[in-house]
Each structure stands twice: as structure tokens, then as C-alpha cells.
Amino acid sequence: MTILMPAADEAVLQRRESIVSALRQIVPGEGVISSAAEMLPYESDGFTAYRQPPMVVVLPETTEQVSQVLRYCHDNGIKVVPRGSGTSLSGGSMPLADAVLLGLGKFKRIREIDFDNRVVVTEPGVTNLAISQAVAHAGFYYAPDPSSQIACSIGGNIAENSGGVHCLKYGMTTNNVLGCEIVLINGEILRIGGKAPECAGYDLMGIITGSEGLLGVVTEVTVRILQKPETARALMIGFAEVEQAGECVARVISAGIIPGGMEMMDKPAIHAAEAFVHAGYPLDVEALLIVELDGPSVEVDDLIKRVETIAQGCGSTTCQISTSEQERVLFWAGRKAAFPAVGRISPDYLCMDGTIPRGKLPLVLTRMQEMSVKYGLRCANVFHAGDGNLHPLILYDANQPGEMERAEAFGADILRLCVEVGGVLTGEHGVGIEKRDLMPEMFSEIDLAQQQRLKCAFDTQGLLNPGKVFPTLHRCAELGRVHVHGGKLAFPELPRF
Amino acid sequence: MEILKVRDAADVEQVVRAAVANEQPLEIVGHGSKRQVGLPMATNAVLDLSALNAVTAYEPDELIVTVGAGAPLADVLSMIDAKNQHFAFEPMNPAGLLGAGHDAGTVGGMLATGLAGPRRIKDGGARDHLLGAHAVSGFGDSFKTGGRVVKNVTGYDLCKLLAGSWGTLAVMTEVTLKVMPRPECQRTLVLRGLDDVTAGRAMTAALGSPYDVSGAAHLPLSALRTPDGALADLGAAQTAVTLLRLEGITVSATQRATSLAKALATFGSAEVLTDDMSAAVWQSIRDVTPLAATTALGAWPVWRIVCPPASGGAFGQQLAHDTGGEVIYDWGGGLIWAALPPAADAHAALLRQRAGAIGGHATLIRGSEAVRQSIDVFHPQSSGVAALSRRVKHSFDPKNILNRGRMVREATT
């Protein structure tokens, strides 16, 4: 347990009873949960290594209730942790002992489907997949497809700027959201953007997306929907060397082809997945690429041939091309089940998330292999190859003393490596608590101060989701101070005109 | 007027720090090609970024390019074009509209103003393609945000804010953009003689089809407009034209054009424009050449109205009718360029009320200094959003040094 959360405020804990009853005034009936047993399901999210029961859980049903809860917390100096479906892999919605856990699970209604403007207006508790399902009858879908899409909520997707296997071609959440209704910590309800293709003034929607619940609570979302491609086919390509697979990815992109999805798995991941779902993956290869092309069938057929030729040129040892929808789905089955598949071969695993320039893949995989030896822990890799997003899975056993700490140190080394080779700490899982303390590896104090000042524009007291994303909490007054360097300064000596 | 031509990010820091110390607002300029957009600013110091023009890295395989904010856009476009790549958001060149030199404009200026072209409906805007930036805040501190990889965001996505902030939050010094493969082929369907509302329906049908339309525009028939170049060749002076673009590999674009033409048969029979002609027509739409400064409409104020696409046709038709103005539709109706007859407020009150009613907003892109002095150039926001925006500005630039008063008329803080 190496990640520490801010110390609980004893004064707040002592007021717990009055806080609970005040919240019951706002959200009647079963909307306030305060017994230890009933709060159990809320004590962690998808980052299960860390658990903490909240002070109290509130499940409002209306924007007005959200507003009143937040205003009450704001006025009384009480911290708030927002939560959607609780599938965060970085601990973004992990509770705090002295905070209200604000669940949006009752915001489950799709408010409007507008095919003419190609948007869906929905409440944040609706799952990612439910949006696609609601518009499927007209041939539409919502493009970002995180692997947790059956469970994860669209509100959570906004908080984390979720991606998925198709985001190289179709973008992440931020590229597919047009507007929202957001409640600030002081209870103020704002509408940002809407059905128009871009919003007026500053792109506040762009900053809210990916803000990990630190800026406000989203109570309604307007997302873009797209027509489903006419057809999709996949190639499953095996390589004897990881470098060859990496080269193949680079050549596909250089050829001007942007596949709907392009995923890579290394040998341990291939073996784990094959043992679990029997997708027919070749077991004697070092790397497996799944490349999916989507669009009109004439286009897909043409591109499939081009990719096959490129793969052969890179020395592929096997290449299967899906000839039916069933076969395409089967190719993906192993990849999509990679996390549970690894879960079968190890008591515990850490799922990492970082991004590197594609060209650095062979180097990074080699270095991870060395780290695996150094830490004495196995590691399996799945990789959104098209956009350089790595998901190393570090295998460990929490019952063995010291293994979890070793796994965390291994993970931190991988993320440092991502930054070292020119990448970033996250791909699509957010910073949360998991990567919070690594932020200085990527950002200077000045970089982080600017981000935290922006937080101050939304939440001056730092009450929303504290302890997440930023390693050090600063007071807004301190961050906002302008240092005048050396009193009156002349403009520097520069060429003048 | 003092023009400070900076050589690097350290110079920018020094200039901003000196400006903060002296409470001297700065106007931030690349080539100054869009300088006439926005509220007139009261400043006598200009920070000139045009010397920050280096190409730091262009990695076609990684789909990224990193350049100084002052890099000429035209040069960067031809550099990536040589590798068959482009900026998918199709940045417009507003030089003709604003009456500036044709090749003027920097990458930083393009991002700061965020004026995306026709393909925005499919591939997003400038904000979707800015992956990372180094910038100097109004604190005089250089900071970085985003990264140099396609999945770029760790922490808050400050790039989204910088794009389209008109230089009011921070001075970008170096930026990394996503580049994409240029489609090998394009086809444009032309439907003739549709009124604006019917054209809106045709564009809605096309954009709701599975044929991956990458441009949807409509030019109403106009007595005032005298199109030249590609639009004249198209006969846009004789009939209204509705244009629908399909791009991709040849076999695909061709087939989709055929399928879409069939699907839109109720709107009339479509002609097909092929590559060069199609590209020339879309360049005219992108740059709004029918409303260019050199045309008969050159003295008219020009508005850029963004609204829910399906509402565009009725909105634009009524606006043109009631004001005697001219409109052009892009983004399937979601973007309306309107040249309106001169008026003291350039019809701002009428426009704002109507645009607001349909969930849209209007920005004055071309207007005399007198008009810009007297109206809000950028669409006024609800009081809550306006207050939040002021706090956001304050978080980057508490002394209001950077492009003070360009977006919002306000007292110094």
C-alpha cells in the first residue's frame, strides 16, 4: 500500500450524523446510504487493490438534488467524490473516509435521440453500450468503446476521456462529446455546448472531459452518434519477432491506412487468451496483430489485401483473414478477454496504461522484459498498436508478502519508461490515485501549477475529489500569486520594428 | 506601437514578465492575418511570434508534426502534403474573406482561432488535432501540456482550451499536431435548384447515411453574388447548388458516390465532380470565397453562425430574407456564413436572439472597427458560463496581459 490519501478531517467525521441527516433532507428515502454493510459495495472501484469505506453514500435522482447536495457540502467544507459505475482502473472514484460519495447511478434515462442532428442527449448513469443499443435500430452507434462498455457509464467516460479499440480512427470520448449540463461544487448548474458542432467561447467541454471528477458533476451529456460502417473484417497476423509486428504497424500507417482497430498481443498474453477462449491464436509466435478494417465492402476488401501484402513484407509467419462476422468476432474474443484471461493464470494482476510513440515499441518491450526479470514478476502485454497505448498486465500474488509492492514498483518503472521514450503516463484510464505520484515524472512544478490553477477556477476550496490526479495539494491563493520579477522590468533586448 | 519580435520561448517569458511588471497588455501576433477579428484591443505592445518558425520534428509514421507557433501554415501544409498527409480538420484560409495576403497565417494563429473547414463534421476541429503545446502563461511561466503521441492527455487537457482561445490564455510557442493520410480520391455530388430548407434535408439525409460524407454544403442562388473560379465553372451563378463530398480510396469513394446519389434521388439527379474540380470547389467553400473582401459584398459584415445542423436551413433562409443578406451553408447546415447589409450593430441583436433560440451562436468575423467597438464580437454567454470563463482566463492570466479585451469587453483586473 504505497499510495497515501489525504488525512481525514476529524472535525468532519465528528459531524457525520448531522451531515447524514442534512443529506436525507435533500435526497429522501433510500437515496442516502450510511450503514457500513450497505456501503460495502462502494468502498473501491475497478482499481481494487485500494479500498476505503466512504463517510456516506448519496444517490440523487435529479439535477436539483445534485445541486443541493453539492451546495450543502460546499457551504460546510465537506469533500465530495463523484462516482458513475465504479469501473475506473486508476482509482478515480475511490472513496475518502471524510467525503460524501456522490453516485450518479440513478441518472439512467436517455433523454432524447435526435437522428437529424446525429446526437443523443442522455443522463450520465446510462452505460456506454446502452447508447449504442438505443440507436442501433437506425444503423447508428456511439463510437468510443472501452472494454468495460457493458458496465461503464457515459458520465464516467467523460471523467476519464475513455478510449477503446476503435479510437485511432474514431477518436476518444473528447472527440465525440458536444455538450453537457454540469453542476459546480457551489451548486451552480451550467449548460456547456449542446447540439451545435462546437461551443461558443472557451472550449469548456474539452476541459471537463478527462477531468476525473475534479471540476464538477456532469448531470446530462450530448454525444455524437455515427452510422455504423457497412462491413468490418479483421486480419490476425503472427510474427516471429516483436520488431516485425511493430514494423508492420508503422508500414500500415505510412501506407495511409487508418484501420478501425489495430491491436497487438505478446506471447504471454496470446497464451493466456488462447487458453481461455480458444480463438485459434497461433501459439508459436512472439507477437500477434489483429487489424480490423471497416467501411464499404469494396474498400474493406481492397485494404485487407494491402495490409496482407504489408504483413508479408514484414515477415509474418501466419495470416488469417476473417471471412464471416462470426470469425471476426472470434479473432477479437481473445483480445477482449485478455484481462480476465490473465486473471485466470495469476491470483492478482495490475493493469497498467501508458502511451509511447509507436516506433519505440520494440525498445519498450525489451526493457519491460528486463524489468520482469529484475522484479521477478511475469508481465503480459496487450497494446492498442495503432495509437501507441500500452496495457502491460503485471502478474502477482497479493498473499505473498511484498509482491504487491514489487508489482507497483514494476508498474511505476514502466510508466517512467513511457515518459522517457517520449510518451505519456496515461492512455485511457486516467491518472486517479494510481499514477498520481508519478505526475512529476512528466510534468514540472510549473506545468502542474497551471493545471491546478484551472482547478481553482472551478473549485476554490479543493473539495471535489481531492487526492486524485495531483500529488500535492496547494491552496488556490498560493497558486494564484503573481511573482513580479525584480520590480519594474524593461522589455528584453529584442529586434524591434 | 512597440513590436517585440521574440526569438524563443525564453524571450516570450521575459516579454510577458516585463509586461506583467509594467501592467502593459500585449497583443499576440503571428502573421497578423486574423488581427481584424475580435474586439478592438487597447495596447501599444505587440508580441510577434513569427520568428518561432522552426519545424522541430515531422514524423509521418507517428502521425505527428511539431513546429514553432510562428511557422507559416502554408509551408507546413506543403511539407506534409509531400508525404501525402494533411490536417484532417481542413483549416480554412480566411485571407480572402478578411482581405489579407494570401499565404499569410501561422500554425499558432490557426490553432488560436480554431477555424476548421468542411471536414469538421467528420474529423473534428483544430481542438481535436492539437496533441501538445508549450506555452507561456500570463504568469510569464513556460508550461507544457499534452504530449507528442496520438493519445496525448495526462491531467487536464489544456490543449482544448488553448485551441480557439484567440491568444487570451497563453502564448503558444511550440505545438504538436496530429497529421492524417490524405484521401487518395474525392467525389462530389452536386444537386441543383434546392431551396435552403430542402437542401438542409438533403444534407441531413446524406450525413445520416452510411456513406461517410466528409463535406456537406449549400450555396443558395443569389442575385448579388458573382462566383468566380471553381464555383463559376460549376454554374453557381445560375442555380443553387448543394454539394456532398465523399473521400477515400478510389474504388470506395466512387461506389459511395453512386450509392448516395441513389439514396438522394428524391432531391433530384446528382452530377458528380471528380478530384481536381471537387477539390477546387471545396477550397472555395472552406475559404468562403463568395463573400471575399474583393467581391461586391466586401464591405458587408460577415458572421460565422454555428448551430444544430438540422436547424440551419430554416434559420439561414429566414435570416437572408429578413435582412436582405447572403448566406452560405457548410457542415450540413451546422455552419452558416452570413454577409449582412451594413447596419450600426451589423444585425447583432437579431442574430443573437435567433441563434440563441435554436442552440447556436454567432461570431462577427468581418466588421469595421466602429462596429466591433460597439457590439459583442463573440457570442455573449449565460452569466454562469461567462463567469466561469472569466475565472478560467484569470487562472492563466490573472493580470489580463494577453490579448486583453479581444474576446470579452472587460475592465482590467
Q: Are residues A284 and A254 in the same domain?
A: yes
Mutation pick from B4, B152, B156 vs chain A, by most beta carbons of A within 10 Å, is: B156
Per-residue pLDDT of chain B (413 residues; tens, 9 = 90+): 899 999 999 999 999 999 999 999 999 999 999 999 999 998 889 999 999 999 999 999 889 999 999 999 999 999 999 999 999 999 999 999 998 877 789 999 999 999 999 999 999 999 999 999 999 999 999 999 998 888 878 899 999 999 999 999 999 999 999 999 999 999 999 999 999 999 999 999 999 999 999 999 999 988 667 777 899 889 888 899 999 999 999 999 999 999 999 999 999 999 999 999 999 999 999 999 999 999 889 999 999 999 999 999 999 999 999 999 999 999 999 999 999 999 999 999 999 999 999 999 999 999 999 999 999 999 999 999 999 999 999 999 999 999 999 999 875 44
- Chain B hits for A163, CB-CB cut-off 8 Å, are 151
A-B C-beta contacts closer than 8 Å: 301
Binary contact (B128, A174; C-beta < 8 A)? yes
The nearest alpha carbon in chain B to A296 belongs to: B252
Q: How many domains does chain A have?
A: 4
The answer to whether the Cβ–Cβ distance between A191 and B385 falls below 8 Å is yes
Residues A222, A255, single domain; the answer is no
Residue at a domain's end among A283, A312, A344: A344
Question: Cell digits for A361?
Answer: 515499441
CATH architecture of B290-374: 2-Layer Sandwich (3.30)
Q: Which of B6, B331, B399 sits opposite A494 (nearest CB)?
A: B6
B124 interaction partners in chain A (CB closer than 8 Å): 171, 175
Flag if B306 and A198 touch (Cβ within 8 Å): yes
In terms of domains, do A188 and A293 share one? Answer: no
Residue B294: how many CA atoms within 13 Å on its side-chain side?
A: 10
In this structure, whether the domain defined by B185-287 belongs to CATH 3.30.70.2190 is answered with yes
Which pLDDT score is estimated for A485?
62
Distance CA B148, CA B130 (A): 10
Q: Which residues contact B283 (CB under 8 A, 6 or more apart)?
A: B230
CB contact under 8 A, B395 and A480: yes
Instruction: Give the chain B residue nearest A436 (alpha carbons).
Output: B155
Kindly list the distances between the CA atom of residue B320 and the CA atoms of A29, A166, A211, B317, in Å, as whole numbers in the listed order. 55, 42, 41, 5
Same domain, A271 and A296: yes
In A174-286 the beta strands, taken as DSSP E runs, fall at 177-183, 189-193, 217-224, 226-227, 231-239, 261-266
Q: Report the distance separating Cα B389 and Cα B408, nearest Å.
A: 10
Boundary of a domain, candidates A85, A103, A121: A103
| Pairing outcome for strands A261-266 and A287-295 | antiparallel
A397 assigned to some structural domain:
no
**Co-location of A192 and A248 in the same domain:** no
| Cβ atoms within 10 Å, residue A288 | 28
Please name the residue that has the C-alpha cell 509514421: B61
Q: Is residue A372 part of a domain?
A: no
Q: How far is the alpha carbon of A268 from chain B, nearest alpha carbon, in Å? A: 25
CA distance A353 to chain B (A): 11
Would you list the domain boundaries of chain B?
48-181, 185-287, 290-374
**One domain, residues A308 and A257:** yes
B290-374 and B185-287 share a CATH fold: yes
Residue A383 located in a structural domain? no
Q: CA angle, corner A345, sides to A343 and A346, nearest 5?
A: 65
Domain B48-181: state its class. alpha beta
Q: B12, B150, B390: which to substitute to probe chain A, counting the most A Cβ within 10 Å?
A: B150
- State how far residue A194 is from chain B, nearest Cα, in angstroms: 7
* Interface touch B160/A299, C-beta < 8 Å: no
Whether the CB-CB separation of A452 and A471 falls below 8 Å is answered with no
Give the model's pLDDT for residue A217: 98
- Spatial contact of A455 and A472, defined as CB atoms under 8 Å apart: no
DSSP string of B109-136?
HHHHHT---TTHHHH--GGGTEEEEEEE
A275 vs chain B: nearest CA distance in angstroms? 31
b/e code A413-440 from CB counts within 10 Å (16+ = b): bbbebbbebbbbbbbbbbbbbbbbbbbe
Name B45's bridge partners: B2
* Residue spans of alpha helices (H) in B62-128: 73-81, 95-98, 107-113, 120-123
B164 to A202: CB separation less than 8 angstroms, yes or no: yes
Which residue segment(s) compose the domain that A472 sits in?
443-490
The pLDDT, as a whole number, for residue B329 is: 98
- Helix, strand or coil, per DSSP, at residue A53: coil
A174 Cβ contact partners less than 8 Å away, ≥ 6 residues apart: A161, A206, A209, A210, B128, B153, B157, B160
How far from A66 is each of A46, A83, A222, B31, B382, CA to CA, in Å?
Answer: 24, 12, 19, 47, 20
Based on the fold, state whether residues A158 and A221 are members of the same structural domain: yes
Domain boundary among A168, A203, A227: A227
Helix, strand or coil, per DSSP, at residue A48: coil
The CATH number for A169's domain is 3.30.465.10
CA distance A2 to chain B (A): 21
pLDDT at A488: 61
Q: Using an 8 Å CB-CB cutoff, list chain A residues near B125.
A: 197-198
What number of CA atoms fall less than 13 Å from residue A197's CA on the CB side? 30
- How far apart are alpha carbons A169 and A109 in whole angstroms? 29
Q: Which three cell numbers stand for residue B127?
A: 481542438
Which regions in chain A score pLDDT beneath 50?
none
Q: Mark whether A131 and A147 lie in a shared domain.
A: yes
Cell of A30: 433510500
CB atoms B156 and A211 under 8 Å: yes
Question: 3-class DSSP state for residue B219?
Answer: strand
A190 and B388 within 8 Å at the Cβ level: the answer is: yes
Q: Do A299 and B309 touch (CB under 8 A)?
A: no
A128 and A179: one domain?
yes
Q: Which residues of A touch B91 (CB under 8 A)?
A: none
Q: Edge-to-edge, what's the strand order for the sheet holding A56-58?
A: A32-33, A56-58, A99-103, A79-83
**pLDDT for the residue numbered A490:** 75
On the CB side of B269, how many CA atoms lie within 13 Å of its CA? 0
Tell me what pLDDT residue B296 has: 87
- List chain A residues with CB under 8 Å of B146: 424
CA dist B113 to A65, A200, B281, B378, Å? 38, 12, 23, 12
What is each CA distance from B105 to A159, A197, B112, B290, in whole angstroms?
Answer: 35, 24, 11, 20
Smallest Cα distance from A415 to chain B, Å: 12
A275 and A210 within one domain: no
Strand intervals (E) in B249-394: 271-273, 302-306, 326-330, 335-339, 361-366
How many angstroms separate the CA of residue A29 from the nearest CA in chain B? 32
Residue of A114, A167, A450 with shortest CB distance to B143: A450
Please tell me whether residues A116 and A220 are part of one structural domain.
yes
Q: Are residues A178 and A130 in the same domain?
A: yes
CA nearest to B208 within chain A: A227
Pick A196's closest partner by Cβ from B256, B307, B392: B307
The ipTM assigned to this model is 0.96
CA distance linking residue A296 with residue B255, whole number of Å: 9
Check B5 against A424: CB less than 8 A apart: no
- A138 inside domain: yes
